[in-house]
Chain A
């Protein structure tokens, strides 16, 4: 099972709810932040493990 923090950036507005649901389905606590261009950055935190840091791709 995944652990720690995983992020996915530039998620289109129409797909963000699906992406959030996907991370939540495996037990993550999910937050999202809107970018200036209208896309979203989704951050999923799983119990245990280390953080993945905040660097973007």
Chain B
């Protein structure tokens, strides 16, 4: 019988180690395959979600409900509000049940994969320690590395690494926002909140619970913040002239030859620029700091103090 590396000198060790390796690998393989346990992090549910979805879909034939709604013989005007609310509520329940199933299944798969991979890796490492031959250790070590590497590869490619919790949180928040609009609408008459609006809001509610919807929401939020930052930036680009003691000291430090000579002292200019950059004023011209309006007064005072520039009252 050949050892794991085919070298006769290690054959005896490999043969003795093989039952242990086989037993260990079988144990961890069984742990990862065909093993049913409760989803980690989820208490036992009192109903079968998938069955309930099927039951609801059977009970509420939504296409027929919409047709009935618009047929005045089936749904006269005085019953349209109740019909609208029933239809919207049914769709809400189905969307919610499917969403819960989606999110929990996603988390389950990742956690399952983590558990399986960790157990398998542990088992392989144990087996590596147990066997005596260097070649066996090398092979098992390589297999262990392969398991770890595979897990990392799957994590990167399929589970969005650490962005998954962010996406779920974003979806939850976005769904709540849309739900408020739907619940508010259902308190209104059909004239103020027609079924068409309700159906449109339901589509938005579903979309809010998708990864694409979450990514768009994150992007829009970032865009809004950029617009706000732009508005703040535009604000400080336009100023009016103000002369004060600190400003005059800075101006003189920067242009020592004033008032006749407006040549700048390059070293002092670099010093002021460096101070401004360090204080978040990278985009502000020195001259705006020196003679800008009262918004810059405290900054001027701070600059002369920290740069030890003498101030003449």
Contact = CB atoms under 8 A, between A and B. Distances in A.
Interface of A: 1-12, 15, 17-19, 21-23, 25-26, 28, 39, 44, 46, 49-50, 52-57
A42 to B, nearest CB: 8
B228 interface: no
A26 B285 contact: yes
A22 B290 contact: yes
B238 A52 contact: yes
Interface in B239-269: 239-241, 243, 251, 254-255, 258-259, 262, 264, 269
B254 A56 contact: no
A22 B239 contact: no
Contact of B237 (A4, A19, A23, A39): A4
A6 B283 CA distance: 10
Q: Sort chain B's interface into a size bin.
A: 20 to 34
Contacts, number: 96
A55 B233 CA distance: 13
A7 B287 contact: no
25 contacts: A2-B284, A5-B237, A8-B241, A8-B291, A10-B240, A12-B241, A17-B262, A18-B251, A18-B255, A18-B262, A21-B264, A22-B255, A22-B262, A22-B286, A23-B285, A25-B269, A26-B273, A26-B286, A26-B287, A28-B285, A44-B287, A46-B285, A52-B237, A55-B238, A57-B239
Given A22-B285, A44-B285, A52-B234, 19 more contacts: A2-B285, A6-B239, A8-B288, A8-B291, A9-B239, A15-B243, A18-B255, A18-B262, A19-B287, A21-B255, A22-B254, A22-B255, A22-B287, A25-B254, A25-B264, A26-B286, A39-B241, A46-B285, A52-B237
Contact of A7 (B238, B251, B255): B238
State the majority secondary structure of interface residues on B: mixed
B283 A57 contact: no
Contact of B238 (A11, A15, A49, A53): A53
Interface of B: 230, 233-234, 237-241, 243, 251, 254-255, 258-259, 262, 264, 269, 273, 282-288, 290-293
Contacts of B290: 22
A26 B292 CA distance: 16
A22 to B, nearest CB: 3
Chain A to chain B: the 3 pairs with minimum beta-carbon distance, closest first: A52-B237, A22-B287, A21-B262
A2 B239 CA distance: 15
A46 B273 CA distance: 15
A8 B269 CA distance: 20
Contacts of A11: 241, 291
A17 B290 CA distance: 14
